[in-house]
Amino acid sequence: MTEAFSLHPQLAADTVPVGDLPLVRVLLAKDANYPWLILVPRWPGLTEIIDLPDTEQTRLLGEVAAVSRALKAVTACDKLNVAAIGNVVAQLHVHVVARRRDDIAWPKPVWGAVPPVPYQPEARDALMTALRAALPFKS
């Protein structure tokens, strides 16, 4: 493999890194409206889930599930929204969003619903700390 993985600049601009699992980089969206994680497989040239070999698709699912369980436990959310869309940023990335029935966009999907709201640093750090305690990130 001659091409190296690099995070799309738009994803880099819109998120802060939480940590790396064996396959994916976990990012937190800079949007305090909802706890919103984005998982990016660290392989170059991916657009669709089905671009990955079957074994790596299964690994991706396992990491999506682990992140889903952690996010649900940490936020006590009412619903998870899990999606691979990629119409704007083609680099394969999977959204895992913790939704509450009283969040600003409920029941609409989050994409394009309302403008992002910056985090208070303390709130963001508390969420990051809780997620890092709940997930086996590489150190």
List interacting residues with a copy of itself (CB under 8 A): 47-50, 54, 57-58, 61-62, 64-65, 68-69, 72, 79-88, 90, 99, 106-109, 111-112
CA dist 82 → 67, 93, 101, 120 (Å): 11, 11, 16, 25
Q: From the CB of 82, what's the least distance to a copy of itself, in Å? A: 5
Q: From the CB of 69, what's the least distance to a copy of itself, in Å? A: 6
Q: From the CB of 47, what's the least distance to a copy of itself, in Å? A: 7
Q: From the CB of 139, what's the least distance to a copy of itself, in Å? A: 25
CA gyration radius, the chain? 15
Cβ contacts of 102-106, under 8 Å, gap ≥ 24: 103/33, 103/34, 104/33, 105/33, 105/34
Name the residue nearer to a copy of itself (CB basis): 87 or 139.
87
d(CA 135, CA 131) in angstroms, rounded, equals: 6
> How far does CA 118 lie from the centroid of its chain?
17
Name the residue nearer to a copy of itself (CB basis): 52 or 128.
52
Name the residue nearer to a copy of itself (CB basis): 58 or 120.
58
CB–CB of 77/66 below 8 Å?
A: no
Name the residue nearer to a copy of itself (CB basis): 107 or 121.
107
Name the residue nearer to a copy of itself (CB basis): 12 or 65.
65
Q: From the CB of 92, what's the least distance to a copy of itself, in Å? A: 11
Phi, psi of 48 (to 5 degrees): -115, 155
